[in-house]
Amino acid sequence: MTLVNLNNMLKHAMDHGYAVGSFNMVDVNSLEAILRGAVQLRSPVIVSVAEIHFPYVDIEKLAFLMRTLTQDAPVPVALHLDHGQSLSAIMRAMQSGFTSVMFDGSQLPLQENILRTAEIVRFAHAAGVSVEAELGHVGGAEGQLENDEDDSLFTDPLEAGLFVRQTGVDALAVAIGSAHGVYKKQPQLDFARLERIKEQTNIPLVLHGGSGIPDEDIRQSIRRGICKINVYTELSQGANQAVHQALAAKPQLPYPEIKISAGRAIEKIVMEKIKNFGGGQGNLQDQ
């Protein structure tokens, strides 16, 4: 199966009550591990590259490799730009063959976010590429929101409805209490807010900061409209831990064996997440 459009994948998830995992790759080893995990479970998967990782990733080469690897893959795979903030990054991803891009205008004023997102939607859709946007502000690498008591950073449901109507975006990342990076304390997701956002938008919703959220909270968020969940921190931590353990057991471990240890850890976490997100063989029907 070749690369697919994210829009069709997420609509299937929305209609059938599960979420697709979006896993960030940073090299060929992590890419192959993500794909192995999805193929073993016969689950659709989103492989993402974040703009912040461009200094470490040659996206043109990896996109070419993705097309090669997915030709015979028995599962749908989307190649997605995560947190694209510059037009140059979005254009570079599209020209490389990405099937989906995210424009993150979450720190812009509402009207500017709407105008810039709508512009990107127009030319991306003309090229057959789906678009994810963000409204509200998901916390950063510190693992906390900038102010835990200030819900002004969260997505406003009425603004979300307006945003979706005026941009034509395919998926919306929402701020309901999750954060990127390592959580310093257990996150408290605002499920009532999520329900209101779903009522106002009726499109696939996205949860960023999926690493470290309790399994039951994940399942509740899916029941309330989340169709895509982003995971990176747990992959990075799992790979690092596996490498440390392998080297502690055998300090002179050859480099290829180190890569294998990291890849196996990533693959295991990918499979755990897919299962918790409701993925598996049944989700391949009609795709």
Amino acid of residue 280? G
286 pLDDT band (50/70/90 cuts)? low
Rounded mean pLDDT, 260-281: 92
- Does this model's pTM top 0.95? My answer is no
Rounded mean pLDDT, 26-41: 94
Segment holding 20, helix H or strand E = strand 20-24
b/e map of 94-109 (b: 16 or more CB within 10 Å)?
Answer: bebbbbbbbbbbbeee
Q: Confirm or deny that 2 is annotated as ligand binding.
A: no
What is the tally of structural domains in the chain? 1
Rounded mean pLDDT, 154-160: 94
pLDDT tens readout for residues 207-226: 998 777 888 999 999 999 99
Query: Which residues are part of the catalytic machinery?
Result: 82
| Residue 272, domain member (yes or no) | yes
Cα torsion 261, 264, 269, 275 to 10°: value is: -170
Q: Confirm or deny that 263 is annotated as ligand binding.
A: no
146 pLDDT band (50/70/90 cuts)? very low
Q: Confirm or deny that 167 is annotated as ligand binding.
A: no
Q: Confirm or deny that 233 is annotated as ligand binding.
A: yes
| Residue 1, domain member (yes or no) | no
Segment holding 100, helix H or strand E = strand 100-103
- Given a contact cutoff of 8 angstroms between Cβ atoms, the answer to whether 265 and 37 are in contact is no
pLDDT at 142: 31
Cα–Cα nearest to 187, from 232, 217, 229, 156: 217
The CATH number of whichever domain residue 57 belongs to comes to: 3.20.20.70
Instruction: Record the tokens describing residue 146, joined without a space.
Output: 């900038």
Q: Confirm or deny that 211 is annotated as ligand binding.
A: yes
Domain that residue 224 falls in? 6-284
* DSSP three-state, residue 207: strand
Instruction: Record the tokens describing residue 137, joined without a space.
Output: 């502000």
